[in-house]
Amino acid sequence: MLDESSLLETFQALDPQAYLSKFVKQHTREDGRPLHQSRVTSVVSSVLIRNTVGSAMVRLGDTKVVAGVTVQVGNPCASRPNCGEVSLSLHTSPLCGKTFGVRSTNNNNNNNSSTIQDVQATESYLNRILQSCDVIDLDDLCIEPAKTAWKLGIHVEVLNHDGNLIDAAFLAAVAALANVQLPSILPTDNNDKNNNNNNSSQVQIIAVPHSSNEQKDKSSFLKLQSIPIPLSIGVFYSNNNNNDDDDDDETC
């Protein structure tokens, strides 16, 4: 016989609209929260100090996400020679939730393909939000115009997915950026025999952030132009607005 939890999951799968209506009529959610009560949120910074220049872990209800920022020195884009770059990547695995099943090599696995597309769409959406919010002035990432600039990579790892992934991932990304300390750099001689490209400028990282108090003093905190706070709004039956929608009917 099926237990109560299994029966509810079956009910939800067979008729999700009726399942949600059951809770809406009681002005509550699946987890017992009132409709307009947000999830308990916590943010912890500097959780990955060895391999990142900034990091943060966010817990939004039972959804848990960690973000780490890595940095490289590279050539700026030709169209924006005075700017650096910031990109975000989103990583999931079967361990973070039943939605993300084990990836199959079978091209006919439609569920697996749909899940991958959903993750890619979420990653693309987060990148668009990050760029449109102007969290960072990309000019601040320029080291030497048209020659060298910082390239920041924000790596967001989903540890547990229980809804509101977009809010949790974006909040973790912004918190990690607020924690970033750019290492000090030292220009190198372009006449170095090992440098075959005379038109490029090279730099050497001389201090790694978070490693010691003395080296921290040589590093510089990344300046944020704004600190956007994500908030999802779910619409059910078009006349019932509930903040922080749960897993399946989540909208931003």
Give the pLDDT confidence score for residue 33 in this predicted structure.
Answer: 86
What predicted TM-score, i.e. pTM, was given to this entire model?
Answer: 0.78
Tell me the three state secondary structure of residue 123.
Answer: helix
Give the pLDDT confidence score for residue 7 in this predicted structure.
Answer: 79
202: CB partners within 8 A, 6+ apart: 73, 148, 187, 188, 190, 192, 195
Give the pLDDT confidence score for residue 112 in this predicted structure.
Answer: 62
Give the pLDDT confidence score for residue 18 in this predicted structure.
Answer: 85
Q: Say how far apart CA 159 and CA 68 lie, in whole Å.
A: 13
Give the pLDDT confidence score for residue 209 in this predicted structure.
Answer: 56
What residue ranges of the chain have pLDDT lower than 50? 104-105, 193, 195-199, 211, 214-215, 218, 238-243, 245, 248-252
Closest CA to 160 of 150, 151, 169, 152: 169
